[in-house]
Amino acid sequence: MRYVYHAHVLKALEGHGLQPTASTSPQLVKDHITNLYLYELRRLRKRLMRKEFPKHEYASLVENLRQRYTLMSLASNRWATESG
């Protein structure tokens, strides 16, 4: 199966250092993005526990992180079209 990724998806993925090929399934890429997000969320939580920033800033930091991963809200079958 070959995939043609939408331009806005490729741009968002590029921001995370990802460049899927035409043979990379959107679900595989989404799984990777989800893992990256969870890693960063855990890292942020550890920083909170080490008191690197005040607790009242945590919610806004999580929101900023969530905004960087907007692709997660889009189903992977809408990231690309299948060709052949």
The reported pLDDT for the residue numbered 32 is: 97
pLDDT of residue 83: 87
pLDDT value of position 9: 97
Report strand pairing: 2-5 vs 80-83. antiparallel
Collapsing DSSP to helix, strand or coil, 62 comes out as: helix
Find the DSSP H helices in the chain: 7-14, 26-49, 58-68
Q: Which residue has the tokens 């299948």?
A: 82
Low-confidence stretches of the chain (pLDDT beneath 50): none
Burial of 71 (0-12, 13-18, 19+ CB in 10 A): buried
